């Protein structure tokens, strides 16, 4: 006891005497207890202090303060958090007389406490300086029973002799709890784990999956920790070094032998073995240890086995084997033990560490409740019982906050609830805190949904600010946007305008986005390369759901557009189905068109097409996942590849693979497969598979029922069929050397890994995390079927595609010009590439002689070099022959050797008089410097000498027979010896055009008109042909080989006419004679014989030329916009806008005199065109 700064004034002795608390040692002073009347005395008794001094009781001073001092920490306290097992030493302190050391024994009467102190602590009740002290070592945790964890309020009462001679009390409150610091704890792992690993080899190449529970498992499809915990690897994310694992659960079994498991410890590696119980419980047996009657199982069902379950040895419970579950251990987990890392072997048994694990994330299924659908999420600890409880004052907190739907019980630390949404692996710190300390543990959590409705698409529907500046079928471009390093391009399939409103969702573009994804916020341009923004995709563009307002701009992937009678029954996010079993999900609706992600339903998916037929229930469509009844009918199917059925076959149409067809619906397509093998035998019905579908812009309907189909590129003829059925296909066409993307889509599902079987073609790869198929194929392949699967730890979804990698013998424009459009010749072909399928070449089928147009605005053509890239893959063309367009600028005349020129000299010089009659027709006033005497020498007209001929000159010398009369008489003409004159020219000097850009004069003189390149291993050939401007020419005649004046026909209907004319015209006729009217590119075999041919025609148009200016037709006069492509003679800056006299102008009569006419190709003067500076 410590003394406070007051003195006692009441005799302790008197106090003890009056209260009846006289100790036995003082019995000599003790009297009988006073009666009530005798309590008060006039003369207070006296007391004696410890020194023997006597004091009057009346002098004692009552205490006013009662408090405790913590002798361990040397501090006054009103509360104390005592540690279990640690020393407690609390001394009572008083003021007044009881606080004086000499008087305390005489004054203090004793101490009491309520409630009782915890075990191990005692209250000193003696009348001494240590009276009322609390000391000891607490042996039990002690907190408030009504408020566990809260300290207890103790009331300590001390009685004392007062100065009135009566006994009084004074009390104090001490708040005290006995605690022990929280121990280390770790949350239990459920059986589904996402584990980040660090392979010691640096890669996961040796790791595989055991994804299919019905198959035999392989050893390196497991992981095992050094502490023995085993898990089955279900998926691999090699880019992020993550493994999805289902941990094996130990189950101890009664009557183990009745399960009939083989003696091998790992029966699941030999033949799939299972156990099951009533209520849908099922698991695959991986390991069996007979000595301990324990099996280690991979759970298949979401329901866990419990003690007492009766077991069957089948995957689905049928009947009891007699074996029952004795115990299920759900506490085992992947633990590091004493090591700082988690050592893992890639095997069903642990032999050595091949990787080290970290970031263990527990994987749970959305909407499944802990403790009901899944095991409780609690923790384990090595701390003593009660340490981690609220009775020990432990409170649990978590940071950051748990996801929606999950709750942390602050008293028990248990996590309850259910995930309401998916969560990628996230880590949370949970702290256990009480008055004596804090411990924490990290827990990784993720929530997943099983993958649903996997599909693959390469088309997009995007909202754009405006569609005004875009044209259907043209190329659309997005500039480089990080992380991409190249511009993204696609082809505009169709424009959509809702027709009203000003919101950002009014205008849309359907795009073939095979070469990349167009992103929200991106600028858009069209043409050959990105030049400036014509429009943009709103930043807020999203994939809409059923609840999305119609004014919100959209950006969705789709692979099929279905036009229906009415779209009213359908909703975005809903399903569509047909009686045949086709299934799809609606991702957007525009008018009566449903944009659909086609699905391949079933656990073993099979592709079923949507169909547009000629009526009947087969043409109906429902708004449910399983067809029940028709909501409306399908009126059009639009997809990248189609199956078209035709009947009413007329003539003998060639509807075989490799052919182009055209439709009365203003469409064209390429047949890549057909059921017809003999084109001479009509097949009714005929079924063909189509790709590369193109149509004349804008807003032309797609292929549909009742359209007539022609077996040629001109939409004419008697060989036809009538469409009776159109169905979509799931075929994707890739091209060697061309980048490709096909995107994965899911209704839901996360924490996925994607797989494909069989392996994709060389150059294409599957992103296992996103499912994206991308790359640049390098080797052609036939049409193959691939099964793509999205998998996570609770499910999978599969999708079927067919993929063909085509190689082409093709020509591309690499000039970079903005207006140049290189495309296949024929109606509806303005969007078709200039190429021939290698399979057609190798199988000698289909169209192997292809014509193409390069359409260009004439001013750009005048100033831009033509650059053509021809290419073929390995084994397609052993050689590529490039034979450029050429023409005769001057008639390549050759003076015949029979030509005789007669001259006179002597007295008859220059007169020609008196020549024999046989010579008068050959007489000329010849001089050796007169080039015109050579028929093909044009040097006197600033032209070339193209004459390789010769002629004979005979001179007659005049003399007089009568010398006396000379020179008056000149009557004798004597011939001299004939003299041969060589013209000295070269025929090729009259030749002009692009051929002179790749062949030298010497090569031309040697007769070469082409170059041959070796391409047996695959190669790309680049050729440049100089622009008219670079040659200082006024006109585009040098490069533009398509014109009325070239053809010399009034209709200009077929560019072949010029070729026919060139072959039939004499070599001396200009400009056609024996020339090359096409830019010809030949695919040659090893013997240099032609296997396939592409002939190119360059056409120049006025400044008003547009991609949609019906460039698929030959004759400009038939255009919808009248004379837009005719000659434009507007005067700008003093010069005519389009007055080059070039060959793009329509033929309206005789040509300019210096060019010649069709009737007289040579013209009034030698055929030429103006030269000089612009």
Give CA–CA dist 742/756, Å, rounded: 13
Per-residue pLDDT, 76? 92
Give CA–CA dist 398/445, Å, rounded: 13
Q: Which CATH architecture has domain 2-179?
A: Sandwich (2.60)
Assess contact for 869 and 1021: CB atoms under 8 A: yes
Q: Which two tokens stand for residue 809?
A: 């013998």
Per-residue pLDDT, 856? 85
Per-residue pLDDT, 615? 67
Give the angle 1145-1150-1152 at the CA atoms, nearest 5°: 70
The class of domain 180-187+365-448 in CATH terms is mainly beta
Assess contact for 1113 and 1125: CB atoms under 8 A: no
Per-residue pLDDT, 205? 85
Instruction: For residue 872, give Cα distances in angstroms to 814, 824, 1081.
Output: 16, 17, 11
Burial 350-363 (b: 16+ CB within 10 A, else e): beebbbbbeebbbb
Name the DSSP class of 945: B
Per-residue pLDDT, 1113? 52
DSSP-derived pairing of the beta strands 879-883 and 1079-1084: antiparallel
Per-residue pLDDT, 578? 93
Per-residue pLDDT, 1062? 61
- Give Cα 231 to chain centroid, integer Å: 31
pTM score over 0.75: yes
Q: Which of 364, 359, 315, 307 is nearest to 336 (CA)?
A: 359
Local structure of 784: helix, strand or coil = strand
Name residues of the chain where pLDDT drops below 50. Answer: 2-43, 1044-1055, 1114-1174
Instruction: For residue 1034, give Cα distances in angstroms to 379, 863, 940.
Output: 89, 11, 22
Per-residue pLDDT, 333? 83
Q: In what order do the strands lie in the sheet with 475-478?
A: 535-536, 523-526, 475-478, 488-497, 507-512, 459-464, 555-558
Name the DSSP class of 940: G
DSSP-derived pairing of the beta strands 1131-1132 and 1135-1136: antiparallel
Give CA–CA dist 371/721, Å, rounded: 66
Per-residue pLDDT, 1043? 53
Provide CB contacts within 8 A for 905, sequence distance 6+: 955, 956, 957, 958
Instruction: For residue 185, give Cα distances in angstroms to 398, 410, 647.
Output: 14, 15, 76
CA atoms within 13 A of residue 325's CA, in its CB half-sphere: 25
H helices within 1034-1119, ranges in order? 1044-1047, 1056-1064
The C-alpha torsion from 1151 through 1157 and 1161 to 1165, rounded to 10°, is: -60
Name the DSSP class of 377: B
Report the greatest alpha carbon distance in the chain. 213
Q: Which of 706, 703, 685, 686 is nearest to 694 (CA)?
A: 703
- Give Cα 674 to chain centroid, integer Å: 33
Instruction: For residue 718, give Cα distances in angstroms to 648, 679, 829, 920, 925.
Output: 12, 14, 21, 63, 66
Give CA–CA dist 869/404, Å, rounded: 59
Q: Which of 648, 652, 654 is nearest to 671 (CA)?
A: 654
Length of the chain: 1174
CA atoms within 13 A of residue 589's CA, in its CB half-sphere: 22
Assess contact for 617 and 810: CB atoms under 8 A: no
Q: Hey, which CATH number is domain 734-806, 3.65.10.10, 3.20.20.70, 2.60.40.10, 1.10.760.10?
A: 2.60.40.10
Per-residue pLDDT, 17? 36
């Amino acid at each position: 006891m410590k003394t406070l700064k007051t003195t006692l004034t009441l005799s302790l002795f008197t106090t003890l005497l009056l209260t009846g608390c006289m100790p036995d040692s003082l019995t000599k002073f003790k009297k009988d207890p006073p009666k009530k009347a005798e309590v008060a005395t006039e003369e207070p008794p006296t007391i004696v202090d410890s020194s023997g001094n006597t004091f009057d009781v009346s002098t004692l001073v009552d205490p006013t303060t009662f408090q405790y001092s913590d002798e361990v920490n040397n501090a006054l306290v009103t509360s104390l958090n005592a540690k279990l097992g640690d020393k407690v030493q609390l001394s009572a302190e008083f003021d007044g007389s009881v606080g004086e050391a000499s008087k305390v024994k005489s004054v203090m009467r004793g101490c009491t406490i309520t409630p009782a102190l915890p075990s191990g602590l005692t209250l000193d009740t003696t009348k001494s300086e240590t009276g009322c002290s609390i000391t000891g070592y607490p042996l039990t945790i002690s907190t408030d029973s009504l408020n566990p964890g809260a300290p207890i309020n103790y009331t300590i009462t001390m009685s004392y002799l007062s100065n009135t001679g009566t006994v009084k009390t004074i009390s104090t409150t001490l708040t005290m709890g006995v605690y022990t610091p929280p121990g280390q704890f770790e949350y239990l792992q459920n059986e589904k784990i996402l584990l980040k690993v660090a392979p010691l080899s640096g890669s996961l190449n040796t790791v595989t999956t055991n994804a299919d529970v019905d198959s035999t498992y392989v050893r390196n499809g497991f992981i095992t920790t050094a502490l023995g915990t085993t898990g089955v690897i279900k998926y691999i994310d090699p880019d992020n070094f993550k493994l999805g694992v289902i941990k094996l659960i130990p189950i101890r079994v009664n009557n183990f032998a009745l399960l009939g498991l083989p003696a091998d410890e790992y029966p699941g590696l030999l033949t799939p073995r299972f156990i099951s119980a009533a209520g849908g419980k099922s698991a695959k047996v991986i390991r069996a240890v007979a000595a301990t009657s324990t099996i280690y199982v991979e759970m298949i069902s979401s329901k866990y086995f419990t003690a007492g379950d009766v077991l069957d040895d089948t995957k689905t419970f049928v009947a009891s084997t007699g074996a029952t579950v004795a115990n299920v251990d759900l506490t085992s987990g992947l633990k590091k033990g004493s090591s700082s890392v988690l050592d893992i072997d890639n095997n069903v048994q642990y032999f050595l560490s091949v990787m080290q694990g970290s970031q263990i994330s527990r994987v749970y299924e959305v909407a499944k409740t802990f403790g009901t659908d899944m095991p409780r999420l609690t923790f384990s600890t090595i701390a003593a019982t009660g340490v981690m409880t609220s009775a020990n004052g432990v409170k649990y907190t978590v940071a950051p906050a748990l996801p929606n739907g999950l709750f942390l019980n602050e008293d028990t630390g248990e996590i309850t609830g259910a995930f309401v949404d998916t969560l990628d692996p996230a880590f949370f710190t949970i702290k256990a805190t009480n008055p004596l300390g804090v411990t924490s543990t990290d827990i990784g959590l993720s929530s997943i949904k099983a993958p649903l409705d996997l599909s693959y698409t390469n088309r997009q529907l995007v909202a754009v600010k405006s569609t005004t500046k875009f044209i259907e079928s043209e190329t659309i471009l997005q500039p480089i946007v990080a992380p991409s390093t190249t511009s993204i391009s696609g082809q505009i399939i169709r424009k959509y305008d809702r027709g009203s409103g000003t919101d950002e969702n009014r205008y849309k573009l359907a795009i073939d986005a095979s070469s990349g994804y167009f992103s929200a916020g991106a600028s858009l341009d069209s043409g050959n390369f990105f030049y400036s923004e014509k429009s943009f995709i709103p930043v807020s563009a999203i994939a809409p759901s059923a609840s999305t307002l119609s004014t919100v701009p959209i950006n969705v992937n789709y692979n099929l557009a279905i036009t229906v009678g009415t779209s009213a029954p359908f909703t975005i996010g809903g399903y569509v189905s047909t009686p045949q079993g086709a299934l799809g999900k609606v991702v957007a609706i525009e008018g009566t068109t449903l944009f659909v992600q086609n699905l391949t339903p079933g656990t073993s998916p099979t592709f079923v097409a949507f169909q547009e037929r000629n009526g009947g229930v087969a043409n109906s469509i429902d708004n449910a996942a399983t067809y029940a009844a028709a909501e409306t009918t399908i009126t059009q199917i639009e997809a990248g590849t189609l199956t078209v059925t035709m009947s009413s076959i007329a003539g003998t149409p060639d509807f075989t693979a490799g052919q182009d067809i055209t439709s009365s619906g203003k469409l064209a397509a390429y047949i890549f497969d057909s059921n017809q093998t003999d084109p001479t035998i009509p097949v009714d019905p005929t079924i063909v598979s189509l790709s590369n579908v193109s149509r004349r812009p804008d807003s032309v309907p797609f292929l549909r029922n009742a359209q007539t189909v022609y077996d040629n590129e001109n939409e004419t003829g008697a060989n036809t069929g009538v469409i009776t059925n159109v169905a979509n296909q799931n075929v994707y066409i890739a091209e060697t050397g061309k980048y490709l993307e096909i995107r994965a889509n899911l209704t839901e599902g996360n924490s996925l890994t994607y797989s494909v079987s069989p392996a994709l073609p060389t150059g294409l790869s599957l992103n296992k995390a996103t499912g994206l198929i991308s790359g640049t194929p390098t080797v052609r392949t036939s049409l193959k079927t691939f099964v793509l699967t999205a998998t996570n730890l609770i499910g999978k979804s599969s999708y079927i595609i067919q993929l063909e990698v085509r190689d082409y013998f093709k020509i591309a424009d690499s000039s970079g010009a903005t207006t140049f459009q290189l495309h296949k010749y024929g109606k509806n072909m303005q969007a078709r590439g200039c190429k021939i399928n290698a399979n057609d070449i190798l199988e000698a089928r289909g169209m192997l002689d292809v014509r193409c147009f390069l359409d260009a605005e004439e001013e750009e053509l005048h100033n831009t070099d033509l650059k053509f890239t021809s290419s073929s893959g390995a084994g397609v063309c052993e050689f590529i022959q490039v034979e450029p367009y050429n023409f005769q600028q001057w008639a390549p005349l050759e003076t015949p050797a029979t030509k005789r020129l007669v001259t006179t000299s002597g007295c008859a010089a220059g007169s020609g008089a008196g020549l024999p009659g046989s010579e008068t027709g050959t007489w000329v006033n010849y001089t050796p410097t007169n080039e015109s005497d050579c028929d093909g020498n044009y040097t006197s007209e600033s032209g070339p000498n193209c004459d390789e001929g010769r002629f004979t000159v005979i001179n007659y010398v005049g003399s007089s027979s009568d010398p006396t009369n000379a020179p008056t008489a000149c009557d004798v003409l004597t011939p001299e010896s004939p003299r041969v004159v060589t013209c000295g020219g070269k025929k090729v000097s009259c030749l002009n055009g692009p051929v002179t850009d790749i062949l030298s004069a010497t090569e031309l003189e040697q007769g070469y008109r082409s170059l041959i390149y070796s391409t047996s291993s695959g190669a790309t050939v680049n050729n440049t042909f100089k622009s008219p401007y670079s040659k200082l020419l006024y006109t585009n005649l040098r490069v533009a080989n398509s014109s009325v004046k070239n053809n010399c026909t009034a209709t200009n209907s077929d560019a072949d006419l010029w070729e026919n004319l060139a072959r039939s015209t004499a070599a001396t006729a200009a400009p056609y004679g024996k020339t090359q009217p096409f830019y010809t590119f030949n695919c040659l075999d090893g013997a240099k014989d032609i296997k396939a041919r592409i002939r190119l025609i360059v056409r120049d148009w006025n400044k008003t030329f547009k991609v949609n200016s019906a460039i698929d037709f030959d004759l400009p006069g038939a255009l919808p916009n009248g004379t837009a492509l005719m000659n434009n003679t507007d005067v700008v800056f003093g010069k005519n806008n389009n007055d080059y006299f070039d060959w793009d102008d329509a033929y309206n009569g005789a040509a300019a005199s210096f060019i010649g006419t069709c009737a007289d190709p040579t013209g009034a003067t030698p055929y030429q065109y103006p030269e000089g500076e612009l």
